[in-house]
Structure 1
């Protein structure tokens, strides 16, 4: 089967248009996320902001304890649960995993907390029993 040049041209143009549309639909409008995981994050600062009657934000700023000081990056991580925020202490080391959700002028990526754990203290796992007293 022989394809004449006009059919070949139309086929190439349609392919290029389809690739262009695919790129903009799948990659052009999506934000690339970045994930971090640290076996030892030192919490330098805890902050919160309250907009009365509307919302409040809680975040921590820290760095990877195992990076050299001259190449050390600082990370800003937002926390959704106030109970978790209240248990975090400045100056302590935690195992942290977080996912970026936007960019920030000062910190580059800004993250939301996925998981945090204090590895220095004893950790319990699983469901506990609550004994009823009769």
Structure 2
């Protein structure tokens, strides 16, 4: 979705092809993906993780071997507040990912470029193949 939006601004931007041998995307993209999974898991499980921490657990292992070190996260939130808190942190992570993506693609001007509105974006998507 982000790719389509950024391409809709019509600055000539396009994401690099992440699935080629010559573009070593894993070294920097995986960090964002892993932290995103951690944040979304913590967001949904603060109560359970708080109880685990109180019981002496240090780390929760998420699927695919992703460790969540409980001491690195504030777990003293009611669920609704955790959704807001970690939702905001996740939004910041995604924003940082997009900023790094456009910079790596040679289009850091997109960081300060005014975006397009919803109607323009819908129109762009309708025209897209």
- TM-score, scaled relative to structure 1: 0.20
Larger Rg: 1
**Structure with higher strand content:** 1
Larger RCO of the pair (alpha carbons < 8 Å, separation 6+): 2
Structure in which a larger fraction of residues adopt helix: 2
TM-score if structure 2 supplies the norm length?
Answer: 0.21
